[in-house]
Amino acid sequence: MIRVLTGFWSKVILSALMVLGVSSGLLAVDHTKGTLVLGTEAVLRHFNGAVQSGSATALPSTQIFASPLRFDENWNPQPYLAESWEFSEDGLTLTLKLVQKAIFHDGKPVTSADVAFTIKTIKENHPFQTMLEAVASVDTPDDHTAVIHLSKPHPAILLAMCPGLMPILPKHVYDTGENIKEHPANLKPIGSGPFKLTEFVAGEYFVLEKFDGFFIEGRPLLDKIVVRILPDTNAQILSLENGELDGIPMINDVRAVQRLEKNADLIVTNDGFEGIGAINWLAFNTKKPPLDNVKVRQAIAWAVDRKFIIDKLMLGKVEPSYAPISPGSPLSTTEVEHYDLDLDKANALLDEAGFPKKENGERFALQVDYEPEAEFLQHNVAEYLRSQLKKIGIAVTVRSSADFPAWANRVSNYDFDLTMDTVYNWGDPVIGVGRTYVSTNIRPGIMWSNTQSYANPKVDELLNKAAVEMDPKKRKDLYLEFQKIVVDEVPIFFINVVPYFGVYRKGLENIPTTIWGPLSPLDQVHWAGE
Amino acid sequence: MAVPLNRAKAPAPTLPPARGEGAGGRKGLASLAKAAGFRLFNSVALLLAVVVLNFILIHSAPGDPAEVIAGEMGGSTPEIMAEIRARYGLDQPLPKQIFIYVKSVASGDLGYSYFFNQPVSGLILRRVPPTVLLMVFSLTLAALVGVTLGVISSARPNSPLSHLVTAFSLAGYASPVFWTGLILMLIFGRFWPIFPINGMFDVVGGHKGLAYALDVLRHMALPSLTLILLNAAQFSRLARASMLENLSMDYIRTARAKGLSETRVFLGHALRNALMPIVTMAGLQFGPLLAGAVVVETVFGWPGLGRLVFDSILRRDYPVLLGILLISATMVIVANLLTDILYRVIDPRVGVGRGGPAQ
């Protein structure tokens, strides 16, 4: 009887192996023939980067849509749809001259009317309201000239014209009177970028194919980009190792990166993330006692060993961050207090603040929150704070949240003492920095507004001045002063730059390393020898 | 064909009814229809309860989808948050939201995904076939492998082979499904890369026809193996116990006394009767398998309902989540209903209104 059964199964297994063996050979695909297969965890809602920020949308949006400008590795604007641009002397007018032969994927020409329509759309719908707040109107004297009138000087406007933030939409497609956030074209986008969307399965994958009518001759160099959305990091990494993927454009799991760096077939780079400028930090609820006392906040800053967090918890693979503006930015500084570990100073400050140690060695208790799913960057640090702050008599409990909305709900409604958080600069302080500190942005229920409830009129004044200062040197000085004040008053203790890496298969040339990295057109990327 | 043996003394073994008897007769059919109707009514009530309870549970959690959408955007404004909430009716009182939802579900409209801006029914329908394929394939193979192992080990209960099967069963049953998945992925994705570890088909290859079918089969190898290892273990334990019980029955001794071959005694008599609880379990396994699919589909990037449910929970995409819960509850209820009906058909002793052994 056993022989009967085992005989049956051995035949079944043998046949299955034969079928699979033959099919493996038949179905093998050479990914390097003009095709790039990327993996990402980010699930996009749609492709319209004019009304939806975030890297999930920006990755495809920057391939499908072209923008007025693009940027190099050194933050210099480069011509893209605009072949030239010029500010008026008073800084209140910016004139763009568009290239003549740019067309959309449907063959219609790109005109200044499209630029004007896009700017209006972004101003009305984009979550980064400060980005184009200064734009009063856009004139279109001819099809290839757009004159942007500003209500006040706006030095950040050039950066706001990058591919990730200003995808030029075709007016003839979008101006139909429908709600642009739910416009059908958001899922079937028509742009003028180097690649056009040919296939999209929500939450699974999308396929971008070379647009033959792209206005830069001889580009793009790749025929096809396939982006697969893979929710599991381990699966992504194994897929890269076994050749199912050619690259992971954005990964911040440093343990995985450490492993991938040892793989001789892969290139790992941390260039190309200066633009997004993500900082990992510890935020304080500055309105809640005892954290309303600046000495208490400073004491905590002196007690946290940033070096230990970076070297041990983050395996030495991240850069430290000391101030609000991310180290990759030309406006950043390190000329601020670093708060290098000093427990004596921390204890003295707490004594001064009127919180002496009780008999049990405790001064007071605090709760620290962290963003769920950010195990490595935030949860580990939160757990570390528990033991570290005990040394200065602060009893810390770590509170977890079930999911992102639960955490965001607590933090944005000021139901927290301390929270770990990761916030993006988005290129210019006007776009991504001011929002955290300016007192007019204390808005309950809004995540990544000034949830610290930090208010200092001097800081407001400096931020407002810097936002309209066209002279780069003066602007940098204003931001330097702002950063010094914020670091001294510690509404936030800055810990590290979020360690983003791009990992690609060797043989891929011109991998994206400009300030916007993979969130910029991949029109020059190609396989060696192709 | 097995010869009915020892009919008068058959409390445990069950035998196929003779033509015209039991469930096969007209009276049987009528009672079967009545039972099915009663079950159908119960099922609809159950589904309504599932919808309302899930709705309340999901909405009780702090935070809402507007925060997820704002989170995806890296920032927001009060106007945008208010607009999102108004657009999706999240600013309405909960009872009103429930009423509107139940009404639209009753009319066949599962709503609109907050996250994807697409109709929920379309999102779900596209994911039902991959999940059903993975589940049916895995369940069938798990039952076949498990029963085979159970029968083999019951033939010589104290042999090393039997102990090996027992050890395999315990290991398979005890291993968390995500761990098994990751280990298989490591073995067959990295050390011996013969199977793809992600997705359902090669997006780049663009295979058609037979090549596509083979491609799907290759992609299904690891996720289905993960589910098979877990479920085969349970089937083998059950089959072994059931076989040992049947093998100690008088009718087996009679069969042997008649001079039938061991193979015939095992497969034609003992196994036939031992299959009853296994069929029941196969039906009941549908629910746990669907739950297991959430993990397996997420680990292997299988584009099914399980992965969509996982993503939708994280995104608070209520309409998608409620839609999937409704569909999966329907699938489980239908599977149990079918098992129950099948049981009544197979076993004439299961009377109408008494409920099947499955309950």
Judging contacts by C-beta atoms under 8 Å, the chain A residues touching residue B202 are 27, 29
| Nearest-by-CA chain B residue for A441 | B77
Residue B10 — very low, low, confident or very high, per pLDDT cuts 50/70/90? very low
Across-strand partners of A200?
A206
Domains and CATH numbers, chain A: 3-46+182-272+500-527 (3.40.190.10), 69-172 (3.90.76.10), 278-497 (3.10.105.10)
Across-strand partners of A368?
A398, A418
pLDDT tens by residue, A366-414: 999 999 888 889 999 999 999 999 999 999 999 999 888 889 889 999 9
Judging contacts by C-beta atoms under 8 Å, the chain A residues touching residue B312 are none
Q: Is residue B180 part of a domain?
A: yes
Residue B358 — very low, low, confident or very high, per pLDDT cuts 50/70/90? very low
**Better-scored residue on pLDDT, A439 or A15:** A439
Judging contacts by C-beta atoms under 8 Å, the chain B residues touching residue A206 are none
pLDDT tens by residue, B189-213: 778 888 888 889 888 777 778 888 9
Give the range with max mean pLDDT: A30-34, A38-42, A416-420, B242-246: A416-420
* Residues 181 through 220 of chain B touching chain A, CB cutoff 8 Å: 182, 185-186, 189-190, 193-199, 202-205, 207, 211, 214-215, 217-218
**pLDDT, average across residues A147-165:** 96
pLDDT tens by residue, A186-202: 999 999 999 999 999 88
| Helix (H) or strand (E) run with residue B297 in it | helix B286-300
Residue B8 — very low, low, confident or very high, per pLDDT cuts 50/70/90? very low
* Residues 93 through 152 of chain B touching chain A, CB cutoff 8 Å: 115-118, 123, 126, 145, 148, 151-152
Res B351 pLDDT > 70: no
Please name the member of B78, B189, B218 whose beta carbon is closest to the beta carbon of A27.
B218
Q: Is residue B289 part of a domain?
A: yes
**pLDDT, average across residues A423-429:** 93
Mutation test of the interface with chain B: which of A373, A404, A440, choosing the one with the most B Cβ atoms within 10 A? A404
pLDDT tens by residue, A284-337: 999 999 999 999 999 999 999 999 999 999 999 899 999 999 999 999 999 999
Q: Is residue B219 part of a domain?
A: yes
Contacts of A49 (CB under 8 A, 6+ apart): A57, A58, A61, A62, A65, A164, A165, A167
| Nearest-by-CA chain B residue for A10 | B145
| A228: nearest Cα among A196, A259, A203, A254 | A203
Mutation test of the interface with chain B: which of A23, A207, A431, choosing the one with the most B Cβ atoms within 10 A? A23
Residue A206 — very low, low, confident or very high, per pLDDT cuts 50/70/90? very high
pLDDT for position A18: 60
Q: Is residue B37 part of a domain?
A: no
pLDDT for position B27: 66
| Nearest-by-CA chain B residue for A40 | B301
pLDDT tens by residue, B223-237: 999 999 888 888 888
Q: Could you list the residue range(s) of the whole structural domain that residue B279 is in?
A: 126-346
Structural domains counted in chain B: 1
pLDDT tens by residue, B17-26: 434 444 445 6
Task: DSSP letter for B80, please.
Answer: H
Cβ pair B215:A23 closer than 8 A:
yes
Query: What predicted TM-score, i.e. pTM, was given to this entire model?
Result: 0.82
Question: Looking at this predicted complex, what is its ipTM?
Answer: 0.71
**pLDDT, average across residues A1-28:** 59
Task: DSSP letter for A81, please.
Answer: S
Res A76 pLDDT > 90: yes
Looking from the CA of B81 toward its CB, the CA atoms found within 13 Å total 22
The burial of B11, by beta-carbon neighbours within 10 Å (0-12 exposed, 13-18 middle, 19 or more buried), is given as exposed
Cβ pair A127:B126 closer than 8 A:
no
We report the CATH number of the domain holding residue B199 as 1.10.3720.10
Cβ pair A238:B314 closer than 8 A:
no
Judging contacts by C-beta atoms under 8 Å, the chain A residues touching residue B67 are 404-405, 408-409, 412, 447
Cβ pair A443:B116 closer than 8 A:
no
pLDDT for position B346: 65
Mutation test of the interface with chain B: which of A43, A238, A401, choosing the one with the most B Cβ atoms within 10 A? A238
In degrees, rounded to 5, the angle at the alpha carbon of residue A117 between the alpha carbons of residues A114 and A122 is 120
Res B137 pLDDT > 60: yes
Percent of chain A exceeding pLDDT 90 equals 80
| Nearest-by-CA chain B residue for A208 | B204
